[in-house]
Structure 1
Amino acid sequence: MYPGSALGEFLRSRRARLRPEELGLRPGVRRRRVVGLRREEVAPLAGVSVGYYTRLEQGQSPNVSDDVLDAVARVLRLDEDEVRHLHRLARVARARESVRPERLRPGIKLLVDSFAGAPAIAVGRRGDILAWNRLAHALLAPHWAFDGAQMPNFVLMDFLELDFARRLYVDWPQKARDDIAYLEGSIARFPGDEGLTGLVEELLVLSPEFREMWTEHPVSNCASISRDYRHPEVGVLTLTAELLRTPDDEGQGVTVFQAEPGSPSAQRLARLAELAATAAV
């Protein structure tokens, strides 16, 4: 089960994307039992033995060098985000210490509240919304209680509240893949987080869409993303989400959503802020 075999699953997913002809290899006359490249095709191109590469995919090469990882990355044509992800997975393959429960620092809550004209949330490594301001609540989840005892998890919302999520996100499939990339990044950094692995297992059971996309193992740094939101009261808004990592909190960050100044989206966001303020009275 992922993430116990995180490194192997990631490498297999990237092998499956490539055809032998793309690397100048002959497809051969035998029927191929795997989609994409075989291990014995990747290994010599990366300059390692088939046995070594097999052990790498099986998580049995904890001391793999950066040079070997970079060689494998070149063969599999990984982009910069994927190369960083590969190195993270290799580093944590031998370290599975437990992690502390997430606790929101009061200062982070104050930071979220300070964004009066922009939606802002504090988000945890599992996708839990740990804090939000009124405008973020109005934009992302007005059907949830703003100050309820339980806060939403944006990954669970996007996959298990499908009717709402598909209406809100103009390009829901891309948002869903970005959610999975967020979880991928957290798993690479916190392999000992049982709550994180439990969340993945829950979604694999409950969401066919998640099961299908999970096999792709999308990777992204999720730091800056422009997205279109279809809000029922103000219309479509194009907003850029900037994720600001908090280095002294394990996996937590603050996401701020901004519209281009003077744009129709900025006007609609201002209107949404008025509606949110009225609802709070």
Structure 2
Amino acid sequence: MTPKDERVRDFLATRRAKITPDMAGIPKGNSMRRVPGLRREEVATLAGVSIDYYTRIEKGDLTGVSEDILDAIAHALQLSDDELAYLYDLARTAHRPSRARGRTQKAPALPQQAQLLIDAMSATPVIAHDARLDILGANALGRALFDLVYASPTRRSSTAPPNLAAFVFLDPAAAEFYADPDDAAAVCVRILRAQAGASPHDKRLTGLIGELSTRSEDFRSRWAAHDVGRHRMGTKTLHHREVGELVLGFEQITLDSAPSITLSAYVAEPASPTAERLQLLAAWTAPVSSEAR
């Protein structure tokens, strides 16, 4: 029997449901539609393949499917670049040998030179995290900014890295820390979903997803939507319990020396209230000299 991948089936079905006939340029006609989005035959027509072939693919059978076909389906479903990358990951990993299953990937370590780099960025909060959203390092201001995450009871021990997704879904303090907790939750799920496509057999990742699915109904609901994406830049509003509201732009930096680790740097508009509050937070976290003591 040909192996079928439920992730492929569910991902394509949820993407198809998001595309209306109007979005695809298909006349609605007078018939009543039984599906919220496109029908399978409509996707097949848009992708230039037979309905039987597309149905086989959507059921999770990617045997012999070429990149050209995947690109055509992605175009028909109007997939984003991140969604297309996820579809490619599913196609690449669907038929891996069984020996790859259940493999535990070691947690990456932040290189010492990278730690020195972020320490030198003393006026900017910086955290280093992996695709599982474990915080692997930070400079003093980054640790102070995310102090609620470091102090969260979701950490298994004082030596275990804090995890942003566990904080968002399992710690009530997240609703205080994030001005938009719904957006924070959506971002976490999209990132974890993308990583699950790239590393479907990583026990650390599947263990985290299993724990969140078991303990959080919100996570289960969002996970079932199969939304995918990376979070490379943007703006966040955070509420720090000591200095108040912080409106911060952020940019993500990938390390050549450790590609699995991402640096997230947070910046404030010059001369803004947020910039003043960051300066105050930096003053509180600055090391005190022996003479000052």
TM-score computed with the length of structure 2 as normaliser: 0.82
The one-letter code matched in structure 2 to 1:101 is K
- Shifted more, 72-81 versus 116-125: the winner is 72-81
Distance 1:76 1:31, change over 3 A: closer
Contact 1:125 1:250 in 2 (8 A): no
Query: Residues 173-205 of structure 1: CA distance to partner in whole angstroms, max 9, x if unpaired?
Result: 111111111112212222221221221122112
SS of equivalent residue, structure 2 residue 237: strand
- Following superposition of structure 1 onto structure 2, how do residues 161-200 of structure 1 map, counting pairs within 5 Å? 161=171, 163-200=172-209
Contact 1:20 1:27 in 2 (8 A): no
SS of equivalent residue, structure 2 residue 14: helix
User: In the alignment, which residue of structure 1 is the partner of 2:120?
Assistant: 114
Contact 1:120 1:256 in 2 (8 A): yes
Q: Which has the larger radius of gyration?
A: 2
User: In the alignment, which residue of structure 2 is the partner of 1:38?
Assistant: 39
User: Are residues 1:129 and 2:138 paired?
Assistant: no
Q: Which runs of 5+ in 2 are unaligned?
A: none
Q: Which runs of 5+ in 1 are unaligned?
A: none
User: In the alignment, which residue of structure 1 is the partner of 2:158?
Assistant: 148
Match 1:100 to one of 77, 97, 105: 105
User: In the alignment, which residue of structure 2 is the partner of 1:255?
Assistant: 264
Contact 2:127 2:264 in 1 (8 A): yes
- Following superposition of structure 1 onto structure 2, how do residues 40-79 of structure 1 map, counting pairs within 5 Å? 40-79=41-80
Distance 1:114 1:9, change over 3 A: farther
Distance 1:268 1:247, change over 3 A: same
Aligned residues: percent identity?
A: 36
Distance 1:63 1:271, change over 3 A: farther
Contact 1:182 1:220 in 2 (8 A): yes
**Following the alignment from structure 1 to structure 2, what is the Cα–Cα distance between the partners of residues 258 and 118?**
6
User: In the alignment, which residue of structure 2 is the partner of 1:269?
Assistant: 278
User: Are residues 1:221 and 2:230 paired?
Assistant: yes
Q: State the shift of 1:128 in Å.
A: 0.7
**Cα RMSD, aligned residues only:** 2.8
The one-letter code matched in structure 1 to 2:211 is E
Contact 2:133 2:164 in 1 (8 A): yes
User: In the alignment, which residue of structure 1 is the partner of 2:169?
Assistant: 159
**Following the alignment from structure 1 to structure 2, what is the Cα–Cα distance between the partners of residues 74 and 227?**
31
- Following superposition of structure 1 onto structure 2, how do residues 224-239 of structure 1 map, counting pairs within 5 Å? 224-239=233-248
**Following the alignment from structure 2 to structure 1, what is the Cα–Cα distance between the partners of residues 120 and 247?**
22
User: Are residues 1:246 and 2:251 paired?
Assistant: no
**Following the alignment from structure 1 to structure 2, what is the Cα–Cα distance between the partners of residues 59 and 248?**
36
